Amino acid sequence: MLSPSSAPLLAVEGLQAWYGESHVLHGASFEVLVGEVVTLEGRELIGLTSDRIARLGIALCPEERGIFASLDVEENLLLPPKVRPGGLELDRIFELFPNLRERLSNQGTKLSGGEQQMLAIGRILRTGARLLLLDEPTEGLAPVIIEQIGKTIGMLKQQGFTILLVEQNFRFASTVADRYYVMENGRIIDRFANAELEANLDKLHEYLGV
Amino acid sequence: MLIGLINGSFYALLSLGLAVIFGMLNIINFTHGAQYMLGAFAAYFLLLYAGLGYWWAIIIAPILVGITGIIIERLFLQWLYKLDHLYGLLLTFGLALIFEGTFRNFFGSSGLPYSVPPTLQGGQNLGFMFLPNYRAWVVVFSLAVCLTTWFVIERTKLGSYLRAATENPTLVRAFGINVPRMITLTYGFGVALAALAGVMAAPIYNVSPQMGANLIIVVFAVVVIGGMGSIMGAIVTGFGLGIIEGLTNVFFPEASNTVIFIIMAIVLLIRPAGLFGRAT
């Protein structure tokens, strides 16, 4: 297992974003170290523009999965171009998500929600990007599937992938994350490591309003 | 029936170009008829000033007109994607009027002759009818072009980028694919299809400034019947309606101009998304 090194793979400073006319990010700053899973908690999208995501070499698994209805499963899987060598082979992806192999010629959106999520994660593993941005991967999925996605994230972490997870489901995030950033109204209002989780639980409940 | 197939070939090529452009750019390209006319004029000029005949024109004219399309997209259309359909419609309609008006000013409206290439002159006697070689060529070639386009879009890697970018351009950009360039080239290609139809039409109809304006209204009806943005829909309805129109012309000539619009009204009542359209 790779241990997180101290060099940040992604350092974002003073991120501003607008969604239509509303100012949704007010100078958020955070960093992600190599080989760790970092979670952004809160109700905001992360607000990087699509061109910047591509330029930074981040592989995006978008909110609501972004599976293409006009493409079959295989085309969906092969769509994102390789950004650098060293991505997973198709066979490895099928080992992780055996369901996908059987459904290659199905229309992408005919898969179940869980399978679509697997497809959305699987297709970015091929690209060779080492930093994965998973935007609410558990949204609208059954607990069994969420557990499976948690296991997958753990496995990806072991293989040296670095993951930035945007998640409102805190209970899920706490099973996989190394560090947390809490975001509210477009600002990072708190940050702590997994080891400090217990001490911060009360505060966190307050932030998330649960 | 044969006239129907010929018309159908042009309907199919033109509505295919419109469907490709609408799918990718979300713009209803009212300049399409003018670009078809430009294709025919390009063939005419190539012969007149460069001595290049039909077989050169069928390659060069679509490329030239396609390039003007790319320039139009870069100069004008790219600023309209975020706006309402109406703006794209107004702009492309205005451009069509400018093109057609300019050509009418210089060439009048009587039409210029363009002859059938020597290799395709003559025809076959099929016993029940006489089939001019050139018309057979138009039907076969446009069918081949349509099916090739369909194949590229529905069955290749490039096509999967196009379909994905049609559906969710933001995400496709996030994967690092150059979507704006794809949009520009798509418009160029759709326009080149119109020009190709124009070159093929030149020996059959005359080369005249309004040749596109007369056709484009029917082509829009074809696109609506087939379903906006549907590739196969555009091809099948193009040929199908051409044949129906041709048959109507034989059995009930008075209705041949209106039959397509009657079908359009019925289809819109029963299936508002068009025969092959995906309801959204």
Q: Which residue has the tokens 């379909």?
A: B163
Instruction: Tell me how close the Cα of A112 comes to any Cα of chain B, in angstroms.
Output: 20
Q: Kindly report, residue by residue over A119-137, the tens digit of the pLDDT.
A: 999 999 999 888 888 988 9
pLDDT at A185 over 80: no
Q: What pLDDT is recorded for position B16?
A: 95
Q: Which residue has the tokens 């320039």?
A: B71
Q: Kindly report, residue by residue over B200-241, the tens digit of the pLDDT.
A: 999 998 899 999 998 999 999 999 998 887 888 899 999 999
Tell me chain B's radius of gyration from C-alpha atoms: 19
Best of B160, B179, B232 to disrupt the A interface (most A CBs within 10 Å) is: B160
Residues A131, A58 contacting (CB under 8 angstroms):
yes
Q: What pLDDT is recorded for position A127?
A: 92
Pair type for strands A8-19 and A131-135: unpaired
Pick out chain B residues at pLDDT < 50.
Answer: 280
Q: What pLDDT is recorded for position A4?
A: 47
CB pairs under 8 A between A and B: 48
Residue B146 φ/ψ, nearest 5 degrees: -60, -45
Look at residues A206, A35, A37 and name the one whose alpha carbon lies nearest to residue A137.
A37
pLDDT at A156 over 50: yes
d(Cα B106, Cα B102) in Å, to the nearest integer?
7
Going by pLDDT thresholds of 50, 70 and 90, the confidence category of residue A43 is: very low
Task: Dig out the tokens for B239 from the structure.
Answer: 């040929």
Q: Which residue has the tokens 């290609």?
A: B189
Task: For residue A77, give every residue at least 6 positions away whose Cβ sits within 8 Å of its Cβ, in sequence order, or none.
Answer: A90, A93, A100, A104, A119, A122, A123, A126
- Contacting residues of B for A69, CB less than 8 Å apart: 167
d(Cα A130, Cα A145) in Å, to the nearest integer?
24
DSSP labels, B18-58: HHHHHHHH----TTHHHHHHHHHHHHHHHHHHH---HHHHH
Please report how the helices B231-251 and B259-270 are oriented relative to each other, as an axis angle in degrees rounded to 10: 130
Q: What pLDDT is recorded for position A21?
A: 65
Look at residues B199, B189, B197 and name the one whose alpha carbon lies nearest to residue B67.
B189
d(Cα A12, Cα A98) in Å, to the nearest integer?
36
| A169 vs A127, residue with greater confidence | A127
Q: A78 to chain B: nearest residue by CA?
A: B157
d(Cα A88, Cα A59) in Å, to the nearest integer?
13
Q: What pLDDT is recorded for position A171?
A: 84
Task: For residue B239, give every residue at least 6 positions away whose Cβ sits within 8 Å of its Cβ, in sequence order, or none.
Answer: B5, B8, B9, B11, B12, B143
Look at residues B54, B50, B25, B9 and name the one whose alpha carbon lies nearest to residue B193.
B9
A3 burial (CB, 10 Å; 0-12 / 13-18 / 19+) is exposed
Q: What pLDDT is recorded for position A2?
A: 41
- The 3-state DSSP class for residue A194 equals helix
Neighbours of A22 (CB within 10 A): 8
Name which of A35-39, A129-133, A162-166, B8-12 the model is least confident about: A35-39
d(Cα A198, Cα B205) in Å, to the nearest integer?
82
Task: For residue B82, give every residue at least 6 positions away whose Cβ sits within 8 Å of its Cβ, in sequence order, or none.
Answer: none
CA dihedral of residues B26, B27, B28, B33 (deg, nearest 10)? -130
Instruction: Tell me how close the Cα of B141 comes to any Cα of chain A, in angstroms.
Output: 28
Q: How many Å is the maximal CA-CA distance in chain B?
A: 61
Query: Taking the mean position of all CA atoms in its chain, how far away is CA A23?
Result: 23
Q: What pLDDT is recorded for position B125?
A: 85
Residue B175 φ/ψ, nearest 5 degrees: -80, 0
Q: A61 to chain B: nearest residue by CA?
A: B171
d(Cα A111, Cα B24) in Å, to the nearest integer?
25
Terminal alpha carbon distance of chain B = 36
Q: A69 to chain B: nearest residue by CA?
A: B167
d(Cα B232, Cα B218) in Å, to the nearest integer?
18
- From residue A115, how far is each of A165, B54, B104 by CA, in Å? 19, 54, 59
Going by pLDDT thresholds of 50, 70 and 90, the confidence category of residue A204 is: confident
Residues B24, B228 contacting (CB under 8 angstroms):
no
A129 burial (CB, 10 Å; 0-12 / 13-18 / 19+) is buried
pLDDT at A22 over 90: no
- Residue A135: strand pairing partners: A166
Name which of A97-106, A183-192, B26-35, B65-74 the model is least confident about: A183-192
- Cβ <8 Å between B174 and A78: no
| A126 vs A194, residue with greater confidence | A126
Going by pLDDT thresholds of 50, 70 and 90, the confidence category of residue A44 is: very low
d(Cα A193, Cα A200) in Å, to the nearest integer?
10
- From residue A28, how far is each of A10, A66, A136 by CA, in Å? 13, 25, 19
Residues A156, A112 contacting (CB under 8 angstroms):
no
Going by pLDDT thresholds of 50, 70 and 90, the confidence category of residue A103 is: very high
Neighbours of A106 (CB within 10 A): 15
Residues B117, B53 contacting (CB under 8 angstroms):
yes
Residues B162, B153 contacting (CB under 8 angstroms):
yes
Instruction: Tell me how close the Cα of A157 comes to any Cα of chain B, in angstroms.
Output: 21
* B167 → closest Cβ in A54, A70, A127: A70
Residues A161, A152 contacting (CB under 8 angstroms):
no
- Contacting residues of A for B164, CB less than 8 Å apart: 68, 70-71, 75, 79
Q: B171 to chain A: nearest residue by CA?
A: A50
pLDDT at A164 over 70: yes
Q: What pLDDT is recorded for position A34?
A: 64
Q: Which fold has domain A8-208?
A: Rossmann fold (3.40.50)
